Structure 1
Amino acid sequence: MALSFPDIDPVAVSIGPVQIHWYALAYLFGFLFAWGYARYLTTLYPVGVRPNKEDIDDYISWGILGVLLGGRLGYVLFYNFEYYIDNPGHILRLWEGGMSFHGGTIGLVASIIIYSLVKKFNMFRLADIASCAAPIGFLLGRFANFINGELYGRTTDVAWGVVFPRGGDEPRHPSQIYEGLSEGLLLFIILFAMSRSEKIRQKPGLISVVFLCGYATFRFLIEYVREPDSQLGFIALNLSMGQILSAAMFGSGLFLLYLVKSGRTQNR
């Protein structure tokens, strides 16, 4: 017996002709909560250690720009390149959807590197703080995907299968919920616990390793029950684009682990 898709309007608020979608609110509150949490995390480090609260306040606009640009360009390059080559003007139509979580992570990393070099403090410490805060956005973003009835899973006969409006008549895995709970909530709890350890905080980059490898692992596994993107299907070896990007992300995490263990992240 399948569950009925909840009748939730994708438009959260309408003010005259202006419509604000749940997906936009997910980004807004994700950034706000992540900002506040990142400011709190700076208080766990000794006085004088950067980044501090003021650095986070200054960096947040860089981070937002990195996530939005990276997320959009990642979707364009990884998921729908041919379409946007033929319709380049549509790249700026963010309201039509199309953001890549992997691309957003790449954009976030780029903003961290550039900002840290400009401000001259340890980029890996800022990366650890950002890594702890990022799952908040993942959680809210995936729940917004569910409300929109998009990025659903493959057909299934499990009791909690959901019949999505755009997914045909058969029940499907609510893979957005799986991702929100794993990449969002569970990863947040793991990184929160790590951030409480002074020993771990003294190894810049270690939290980022767990973020990269943790997200990549959860995403790779859940892709097995998530419906592949219709315009791509499977890329190679029956793997989806999400799995290929997650494998690369996991490899990046292992390389960062090597840097942490070799002590090369201490004074960068």
Structure 2
Amino acid sequence: MTLPDARPPGDAGPSGHGLELRWPTVMTRDGDPEAVVVDVVNEGDARWIPTGESLLAFGAITAPGAPPPGIAFAFAGGPRRAVALDPGDRTRVPVSIPDGDWAELEPGPHDVHAVLISPHVRAAEPLRVTITAEMIARRCAAVARVPRHDADAVRRSREATIAWLRARTAAGDALVALAGELARAASAADAVARIRALLDTDESTAQLLLGTPLDMLLPSAVAAGRRELADAEERRDASSRAADASGPA
């Protein structure tokens, strides 16, 4: 899922709100792939003042040189609120990478991609890391130790991610019609209503689609989203088979 950018008056910068992501030296110099962090830097000319943002960062691990994926995310209550940043100020935030994604990895070099949620900011360059067999075993073991109630939450999160990828793919497939509807919208509420009618989706999904960066709806991103959707469905089905084989927790 993707949330809309917040652009307080006077903000500027390459991202539209002055904020950019920078990999700190603790990551670029033999950083720990199991504890990824990234710096949020105000590169604009004006103070960035949050309007409810929490500066949550999510990530994905890909093969070296692979294009940036569409990073899906889900979270539940209680994130820390962001603080104002003057030009040149920075704050460091952890990058959340689902433990379940590690099961798909092989030992060796990989790229870590990061994205900031609300406002939407993607790291300009991926972070090259080395993944070891021991790391993969630890993260997979962490998933295996998840209690039943936490496993249910993970399953709901996975289903929400799949639903979002389906909605985003449908929006990309209908991009021309969607642009036409949005061009006629008299307000944000009208735009949400038009998205709901065009794509036959619920209000919360329509609101998220309204805030989706346009580049995530381009044909290349839609194609990547389809691959990501297929992978997510495959991981879900594999997890369900494993749970059935292991019996009740």
Higher strand share: 2
TM score, norm. by length of structure 1:
0.31
TM score, norm. by length of structure 2:
0.33
Higher helix share: 1
